Structure 1
Amino acid sequence: MSETVAHPDFNGPSPTSASRGHVLNPSEIAIGVVIGRTSEFFDFFVFAIASVLVFPQRVFPFVDEVTGVLYSFAIFALAFIARPFGTWLFMTIDRLYGKPTKLTIALFLLGTSTVVVAFLPDYRDAGAWSIWLLALFRIGQGLALGGSWDGLASLLAMNAPDRQRGFWAMVPQLGAPFGLIVASGLFAFFHGFLPTEEFYAWGWQFPFFVAFAINVVALFARLRIVVTPEYVHQFERRELQATRVRRTVRQYSTYIVVGTFAPLASFAMFHMVTVFPLSWVNLFTEEWATRFLIVECACAVIGAIAIVASGFLADKYGRRNLLGVSALLIAVFSGFAPSLLAQGFAGELIYMVFGFALLGVSFGQCSGAVASNFPRHYRYTGSAIVSDLAWLVGAGFAPFVALYLSYHLGLVAAGLYLLSGAVGTMLALRYNDLLEYRE
């Protein structure tokens, strides 16, 4: 999903590319980046929403509703576990056959793994096969997400003006709120306008069908950039060269660990305002799920605005300063905000508005905070590994852990989980500063 942005050290197009009559500018790259990230996050949110509204009824009807959602969240986490293996597999394909081949296979796997969920048989018809198939499809999504790493955000950073690095760094992150708006909007429409029986019979399938179409559009948008002379030139200069995963991990394990924990606050916050609130409200309140999905759509707009604002703030005050302050604010937020979800619709609205605003500022700059530590030759693969592990540690189990803790210990416990992410980010940023000082 989210891609680590490398710091630019390339200014202007190459003579070779210029001679071919095409100059690739940041705004042109941004189109492919945003479309690509939106498609990935759309697939992500479609599965996440279905984990709350659909799978407990269709796949886990033999347990109570809370346990059914927890089981669904456990399967949801499988993609984050599979993603690093997908990176390893598709980096090999990248080295042997090139990025266009890798992206084509990965995005078709992602679209296929998503759309086949729509044909998932009901547990009452297929028994345990329904569970195993859902897990298999989710693993397929994870492998494909590892292969969807295209380096376009790094290329965007390389072609961005030096004084606007923060602004262009936030562009890929806009895919998250855009994907949430489309996914939540589709589910809100079908869940709100169809009778319950029809929604569970066929209405829930349509967002998964749409996912495949969006992935096809994203594939062509990204290939259009990948095959341009500028991108090929960067590849030849080893700015975006795929290296062996094992060698990268062995030589730069310290940077990978620091990079994994640096965005922890943002990624934990990500699920605490998107997936977890929907599960809590649907399970433990009288709130209509459709209305809450509409609230998520509206608050995602606030999140998008905050992401854009993060670009200007980062350019003025520095990316790492902004991340440090954001982590501190998330720590404060974790102390009182989750309890608002138990205070009725007004409390839910306050939680979502402030949560998305804070998420946007933090998430907008969380990628690439330590990417410049990697040498140019290892930056492409190193950044991919960091992204995989950061999502696994910071977000993969967040919905399951937050719901489990809040169900057994109360919403305050979910806040403690969020607090741990904020502490992880502050410690990682501090350690990264010490590494740079020693060097």
Structure 2
Amino acid sequence: MTRSTTAPPRPARRDLVKAFAASLSGTSLEWYDFAAYSAASALVFGHLFFPSHDPLSGTLLAFSTYAVGYVSRPLGGFVFGRLGDVLGRKQVLVTTLLLTGISTALIGLLPTHSQVGALGAVLLVLLRFAQGVGIGGEWGGAVLLSSEFGSRRRRGFWASAAQVGPPAGNLLANGVLAGLAAVLPEQQFLSWGWRVAFLLSAVLVVFGLWIRVRLEETPVFRELQAKGEQAGAPLREVFTREPRALVAAILSRVGPDVLYALFTVFVLTYATQELGMPKSWAVAGVMLGSALQVGLIPAAGALSDRLGRRAVYAVGAIGAGAWPFVFFPLVGGGSAALLVVGIVIGLVWHSLMYGPQAAFVAEQFSPALRYTGCSLAYTLAGIIGGALAPLLFTSLFAHFGSWLAPACYLGGTCVVTLVGLALGRSR
């Protein structure tokens, strides 16, 4: 029997490396924006765009624009996920990178309330909405860009490129902000220094575009085109033909998102307000853990190629669900060293889930529906997981006055993730 002429040739290793870099650059931009916007909302946006006699009210209004970025992500998942399955991965990913990057850079050029009144706040919200739309279409395509170039036997490793974005983006954003705060007087930082952090995102956009426009379409999509097997209505087909895959992918993502919120967001408040420790120690733990994750996440993805996605993912979920019941008593004595160690171990459990996650989610869907399915799973899980987790952690702790409630909440979401793994299919 002769080989089919429509089968794509095996990609050269340089194409695999370029696909890995293209995927990593996009998600790094996303999480660079995430970290920079979070800090700016707490430090400067309330004063500059939502002035009020009550500083807390201004800060809360600033954080409301932060939430807009989560609310708009499903729209990006619906729009760009569909286009990615109809037009191709590469073309859509160039668009999402431009949309996210330009919106982020424009925030650094916005006039403030003192210059244009309420118009500044309106523009900030619109740009944040545009960021969310672009980000909603970025993750699914970034996963496919690297995984569909890589071999099936090493898909866990190649797909993990998109997962390295969060720690890389956090490290980059915090490094830039820390550097600006160190070299600029406070008045200059509030006046113009904060803008530099947003304008620098243009560097990542240029680098990402340079790689993506030079990269060919993925072999999987080229084969779909050659056979004429692209989905005609991918949104409808995901919900009607592959609902179990969508549910499994969404549930599998909830636990990791909630765990990440605990050990990168809530822990900062807990360490300072409950333990009375300097915030710098908690930040040091997050930074050290993020630095380790840059290597641990691809390692966990590669391990899932050998042991199976669900096995590695499940070990991480079980460890993540149990760790808060060790972590909170461990740091209760106020030891800074134990706080740092506890945060790092928490992010190690996260790496064991996050490394195989991209490949696991992509493998739930048929090739013709992968971009749509991955995008919907990412954005919908982000709302019920990462978007609500910091608020729920804070509310539960305030209501019950004990770490047990937040720990049980995280444990419950890890059980949800295990259910998603059980519902999902193996590669």
Mark yes or no: TM-score above 0.5: yes
Q: Look up the match of 2:337.
A: 346
State yes or no: 1:421 paired with 2:401: no
For 1:92 and 1:143, the matched residues in 2 are separated by: 13
Distance 1:116 1:52, change over 3 A: same
Distance 1:123 1:250, change over 3 A: farther
8 Å CA contact retained: 2:90, 2:216? yes
- Superimposed CA distance per residue, residues 171-197 of structure 1 (whole angstroms, 9 cap, x where no aligned partner): 321122111111110111112332222
State yes or no: 1:403 paired with 2:394: yes
| Greater Cα shift, 216-225 or 150-159 | 150-159
1:136 to 126, 132, 137: 126
For 1:418 and 1:256, the matched residues in 2 are separated by: 22
Shift of 1:285: 7.2
Q: Look up the match of 1:330.
A: 320
For 2:399 and 2:182, the matched residues in 1 are separated by: 30
Q: Tell me, which stretches of 5 or more residues in structure 1 are unaligned?
A: 1-10
Shift of 1:331: 0.9
For 1:112 and 1:264, the matched residues in 2 are separated by: 29
1:393 to 380, 384, 399: 384
For 2:274 and 2:108, the matched residues in 1 are separated by: 27
Q: Look up the match of 1:430.
A: 422
For 1:58 and 1:348, the matched residues in 2 are separated by: 34
**Which residue identity does 2:175 align to in structure 1?**
G
Shift of 1:408: 4.7
Matches within 5 A, 1:262-341: 262-280=252-270, 293-338=283-328, 340=331
Shift of 1:402: 2.6
For 2:60 and 2:338, the matched residues in 1 are separated by: 24
Q: Look up the match of 2:250.
A: 260
State yes or no: 1:364 paired with 2:365: no
Shift of 1:16: 6.4
| Greater Cα shift, 388-397 or 271-280 | 271-280
8 Å CA contact retained: 2:249, 2:364? no
- Superimposed CA distance per residue, residues 365-410 of structure 1 (whole angstroms, 9 cap, x where no aligned partner): 1224254342332223222211221222221222333334334544
Q: Look up the match of 1:3.
A: none
1:58 to 36, 45, 48: 48
- Superimposed CA distance per residue, residues 213-234 of structure 1 (whole angstroms, 9 cap, x where no aligned partner): 2122212212222457786345
**Which residue identity does 2:369 align to in structure 1?**
Y
Shift of 1:167: 2.6
Q: Look up the match of 1:147.
A: 137
Distance 1:31 1:186, change over 3 A: same
| Aligned-residue RMSD, C-alpha | 3.5
- SS of equivalent to 1:119: coil
Identity of aligned residues (%): 26
Distance 1:394 1:372, change over 3 A: same
Distance 1:199 1:115, change over 3 A: same
Q: Look up the match of 2:206.
A: 216
**Which residue identity does 1:325 align to in structure 2?**
V
Shift of 1:35: 1.9
1:80 to 38, 61, 70: 70
State yes or no: 1:178 paired with 2:145: no
Distance 1:286 1:118, change over 3 A: farther
For 1:431 and 1:232, the matched residues in 2 are separated by: 30
Shift of 1:123: 4.7
State yes or no: 1:188 paired with 2:178: yes
Q: Tell me, which stretches of 5 or more residues in structure 2 are unaligned?
A: none
8 Å CA contact retained: 1:13, 1:230? no
Shift of 1:203: 1.4
For 1:127 and 1:33, the matched residues in 2 are separated by: 39
1:375 to 336, 343, 366: 366
| Greater Cα shift, 323-332 or 160-169 | 160-169
